[in-house]
Structures are given as C-alpha cells and as structure tokens.
Amino acid sequence: MPKSIHPKDALNFHKKGKPGKLEISPTKPLTTARDLSLAYSPGVAIPCLEIEKKPSSAYDYTSKGNMVAVISNGTAVLGLGNIGALASKPVMEGKAVLFKRFADIDGIDLEVNTEDADEFINSVKVLSKTWGGINLEDIKAPECFIIEEKLSELLDIPVFHDDQHGTAIIAAAGLINALDITNRTIDNFTMVINGAGAAGIACAELLNAMGMPKKNIIMCDTKGVIHRDRTDLNQWKSAHAASTKKRSLADALKGADVAFGLSVKGAFTKEMMKVMAPKPIVFAMANPDPEITPEELKKIRPDAIIATGRSDYPNQVNNVLGFPFIFRGALDARASRINMEMKIAATNALAQLARQDVPDEVSAAYSGVELHYGPEYIIPTPFDPRLITTVPPAVAKAAADSGVAQKPVKDDVTYRRELAMRLDQTASMIQMLSARVKDNPKKMVFAEGEEERIIRAAYQWSKDGYGSSILIGRKSRVLNAIENLGLDPNLEGIEILNAKISKRNAHYTDFLYSRLQRSGFLKRDCVRLIHQDRNSFAACVVATGDADAMVTGTTRNYYASLKDIKRVVAIEKNKLLFGLSIMITRSRTLFIADSTVIHTPTSEELADIAIQAANEARALGHTPRVALLSFANFGNPTMKGTERIHEAIEILNKRKVDFEYDGEMSADVALNKELLELYPFSGLSEPANILIMPGLHSANIAAKLLGQVGGGEVIGPILNGFSKSIQIMPIGANVSEILNYAMFAAHDATLLKVKNNNALSKVGNK
C-alpha cells in the first residue's frame, strides 16, 4: 500500500456509488417499444443471421471490434504476489478503465480461477469469440510465456501480455533516445538486464529484434549472471544465457554502457554504478522503489541518463504510454495478432514523439516548464495528447505491412482525424494540475482542521508532494483524530495551529483591524473574529503571507464562508470576484460563469467575467472560445432583457481581446457545430467551451443540472478574483474533492506569484 493512500480512502473510492470502477451503458436509444424490438426480439435476429453467414460482420453489428478482455489468474499482481483471481479484480477493472480513458476502448475484466496453464488457455479459448483482443495481466512466469504463446497460435485476435511487452516497448523507446543522446547506436553498446522475469526477457527479445547483437546482453537473476554453464535454467532463461566468465551482477556491470533494472529496490549499488562506462544509461524500473534513485546516481555519476517507473522523476517508464494505443491500432486494423513488427513500430513511434516539440498542454502539466528532448526527457509523458494520433497509426501500418491486418487502414489522414476525435484531450485536467502543483509545492491551510476528511486530505497533500499542510483546530482534538485514523502524528510537513492561542494573533488582529476599522468594526470585534472564527483566522494566515493558499467550506454554508473571507482578503485590482464551474465529459470540457457571486452582472461585468474566464481556461491548457448566452440568437427573437449581452459584446470588441467570442446565442447553438454553421458571421470557429450566463440563477442551475444528469463531472465553482488564493468547497466534500480544490488553490497561488513578480519587475525596470 503506498504510504500516501489511506486504506479508508481507497476502500471508499471503490465502494462509493456503484461498487467498482466499471459499468455497462447502452449505445442505442431504448425508450420506445420499437427501440426494444430492434435491440432485442424480433429485430436482433437479423444481425444474428448476418453474422452466421459472414462471421467477420460481427465487427459491424456488435461491440466486438472495440472490446478488449483484461484477463488474469491473480498469480503475480503488482507487488502483492499471488493473491488469487478474485482479489485481482480491482486491478483488472483499473486496467479496463485505463483502456477507456486513454484510447476509448471498452475493456472487460475476466478473472480465471486456475493456476494450471492448460486450463487457463482452454477457458480463454472457448470464450474468445466475444472480444476483439486479449490483454493478459499479472500472470506469473513461466506460465505467462506458455499462455501467451499458445493463445496467440490458437486465436485470430491480438493477444498481448502487457507485463512483458508493454514494459519492453516503453523502455526500448527511451533507450533508443538515450543511445542517440550519448552517440551510441543500437548495434554497438553493451547491456546488463537485472531481472529475468517476463519483462526482462521481453526487453532482451525486443532489442535483439531491433538490431542489438545477442552477445552484447548479459542477463542476471537472483543467483547472478545467467551463463551457459548453469544447469538450473528453464527454456526461457537458457535462451539468453551468455558465454562469459562473469558471475555476479557487480562483475557484469563493469564497463557496461546500459543497465536495465527490473528487480528490487537497492539492487544497483553505488559501487556498481561507479564502474560502468562513461555516460552510463540506467533504467531503474523497480516499483515503487527503484534499484537506485536518481539522486543517489547523480551524486556519483553526474554523466548518467536515468529513467525509473515513478511519476515523480523525469523519464518515467509508464506502460500507459503503450498498451491502450497499441491495442487501438491493432483493433482498428482488425489485426489477427500483435507481432514483433507492430511492437517495433510502437517503440519507434514513441521514441520519435519525444524528439518533437512539446505542445503547450504538456508544458502546462509541468508548470509551464518547457520540456525538450535531452537527458531529462527521453520518453513522452502520459499527458501528451499526440499519443492517440501517433502510436495507433504506426501499429496499424505495421500490421498491414506484415500481413496480419484483416482490415488495413487505407486513409492515414482520415484515421488520425478520427483518433483525435475519440477522446477529449482536456479530460486529464486534474492529472495535469497535479503534476503542475508537484513542481511548485505550496503551503496549504485547511481551515476545518478537526474534521476527519480534512485531516486525511492534509496528510495526503503532504505525502504526495504537493507541499506542506496547516490544520486549523485545537491540537488535542486534531491529534486525537490523527490517532484514531492511524496516521503518523510526527509526519513532516503537517502543522497544527489553534486560532485561540496562536503567537501570531496580535499581528493578524492588527491586519484585520486595518481592513475593517472603517466598516464599523472595533478592534475587539477583530480580536473575537481571529480567536473564534477559523475562516477569519485561516484567511489571515494566507493574507499576511504565512501560507500560500487556503481551502474551507465542508462544514459551513458556501455564502457564509464567502462572507467570512471577503472581510479578510481583498479582490485583486481591476478584477471581479466570481465563480467558475468546470464540467468535464468524455467529449468536451465546459467552463460556466458566474455560478456563485454576482446576481445580475452588468454588461461591463459580463465582459470582465468573459476575459477572466478565458484567462483561467488558457492557464489550464485550453484555447478559450467564449459564448455569451441568452434565450435568443443574435436578436431573434427581439425581447427585452438582452441589451446587456449586446453591450458586453461591444465592450469586448473595443478591448480587442485575444480569444474568440460571440453572443447573444442560445446554448444549443453555442455547443452544436452544425447549428453554429447556420450563422457564418459568428466569431466562433468551433463550439464554445466557455459559457457566460446572463445571471446567477441560470449559471448556478445549469452547473448543478449538468452535475446531476449531464454525464460528466462538475468541478467547482472555482473562485476567481481574490488577491490571495482561496477556494470554498461544497459541504460534505470527500477527500478526493478536497484535494482537487486544494490543487486549484495551489495552481492559482503559482499564477498570482508569477503575476506579482512580473509586476515588480516592470516597476523595477521603470
């Protein structure tokens, strides 16, 4: 169990709502008697008879062509070992979710309760007509080799053991680039692979197929070098036995150019690394703890290029870069197998992608840091939106060229366009935000620090590397809750502040009194607020610079919390305070404003909201397209109440803003490309992704309706316009939601800091 995840959070995540992570949803309307007759009896008989006559038409009339089975017997699950078929189900469901998330493939998990390879093979064989492909997962060696090889022979659909080939493909892609950077070639370097399991053997076989001489690889297992004099080798290990006098891992690494670790924490010692060749390439891929950490390696070998399996270091060897996109290409070409040519094509596509200019949305995931091909960037990131249009076409082409494509892709340009439309590349907003915050950790104030959910969120904030946490509450109660939760009371990065006895209270009181003394507040009123109101105290901590950002709201009404904070924190100069709700669906991301603060915005306020919302969307990696909504479309019908919208458009015209916008328009026109094309004069080239509502009622109702019935997730409202970074959560927010709000607060804190630094720089230059 990763230390950053509390067991209760993991269990609640899987139990909440519908248990598990998958459900089946119909793709056809089933609302009338005729619909039901077409979907089932008697209409369903027609495609059944067509498939009987022509079996390949199953791809046309059923979900077979977009369905992959994720199959395991639970004998080698993650780092948990042989936990059995049933206990592996959460992992297999998770793999199916990744197929959907990254490549729009419908994955279905299947847990086979046997450790007998022949029984497993037969079980899958008799069910195989159901799916378009099979992803074998978490099956121990050597059975995994037997099962994959036999099923590939028996079936006419792709069979792929991701633990072997997925790791090999991603690692080989990174290695190709590391060789290029260090002026080596695929046929001229020496390599040690520590770990002779499924992944280690697959790495060796892929690299051999790509042109690396077999004699240049030495493979090691727990007993040392796999050499030809050993008598304890199975057929898969013996195929990679080296003719060498070297017997230990340390001996093998002397003078080696490359070390691949697919073993255990600490397997690569500093002494071993010191004797490698100049500019060594080290892939320490043990998870969660690598064979040697980048920090340890860089101290002794600053000339090294290193990759790990971890997301908190550069060059992550992450299988999610491979399997969804490999299967996407294989399914679309209707490949009968995934052969070596297709694996090499995927490897080369990933390697070449890392050499291209990195798009803005990827840089946005890393706090705007520009990623460039080099020692710290040899493998694309999972956030790269080009993966879906890069890897599947390469795999599909290789399938056709090698003769295993039963329906070759004929028009590459059209195919890439279809791939781009399969997924909304903005659906990874939270993951991108997470990566950005980790690059710029923040001190976060959790105002309701005695609440169990808040404490768990604060601990995860610190554990996951987002920054440090301040819990506002009575120390005895907070510590008692921490003890009940089984958390470490001495965790570094967690601070507890009691508003009543803080040593900074005099400073906070003076600050608050300076703000409120001309608003009818006496100093004793400010003392009372600081001592007794956690929101006021927490906001002062942030306002005076003792912390970077703050979240609150899980125990109080939203508007009561907002009132508390507005007393303490000023609105940013030349800005409005408003709420921005964000809806993320599979097909699009929408920003809706103002959903919380301004009841009936004036035309000037509508224009200001549009500009601030566009800036926020752009900061999150989106190209803003703003629609100012109404019940009418460009004056039809003409009715009283639309003047504010007209005037707001005129204001935006005069300000010469740098984003697309238009209005007044109805929501369906703003969001539907075909309807939008009926108005060729519109300033929107594509459907809008920012909806500016004419009033608080419509914005709030729309956001909450979408959250309940819209088929997506609504985040927010996110407050925009405070001079300090503060977010208010809904009452009852769970730990994941609390962390999401905290990430938005931290993200805004970074933007505010950059903006203030730029302003100071301009003043200095003057």
The string of DSSP letters for 531-563 reads: HH-HHHHHHHHHHTTSSSEEEE-SSS-HHHHHH
**Cβ neighbourhood burial of 49 (10 Å; 0-12, 13-18, 19+):** exposed
Residues 6 or more apart in contact with residue 432 via CB below 8 angstroms = 361, 364, 365, 383, 620, 621
User: Which of 169, 218, 173, 213 shows the shortest CA–CA distance to 195?
Assistant: 218
CA angle at 622 for the pair 620 and 628, rounded to the nearest 5°: 110
Q: Please state whether the peptide bond connecting residue 717 to the residue before it is cis, i.e. omega within 30 degrees of 0.
A: yes
Closest CA to 105 of 71, 136, 132: 132
The answer to whether the CB of 196 falls within 8 A of the CB of 142 is: no
- Sign of the Cα pseudo-torsion (425, 405, 138, 64, in order): positive
List the structure tokens of 33: 């008697």
DSSP state of 356: S
Catalytic residue among 40, 270, 299, 563: 40
CB atoms within 10 A of CB 27: 9
Strand partners, 193: 219, 260
Residue with tokens 């300000």: 655
Q: What is the dihedral of CA 734, 102, 415, 163, to 10 degrees?
A: -170
Catalytic residue among 64, 95, 397, 463: 95
Is residue 584 within 8 A of residue 715, CB to CB? The reply is yes
59 is catalytic: no
Of 286, 351, 299, the C-alpha closest to 322 is 351
Q: 520's torsion region: left (phi>0), alpha (psi -120 to 50) or beta?
A: left
The question of whether 95 is a catalytic residue gets the answer yes
Q: 3-state DSSP call for residue 445? A: strand
In angstroms, the CA 427 to CA 146 distance is 38
Neighbours of 168 (CB within 10 A): 28
Phi-psi region of 493 (alpha: psi -120 to 50; beta: other; left: phi over 0): left
Q: What is the DSSP string of 430-442?
A: HHHHHHHHHHS--
Positions marked active-site: 40, 95
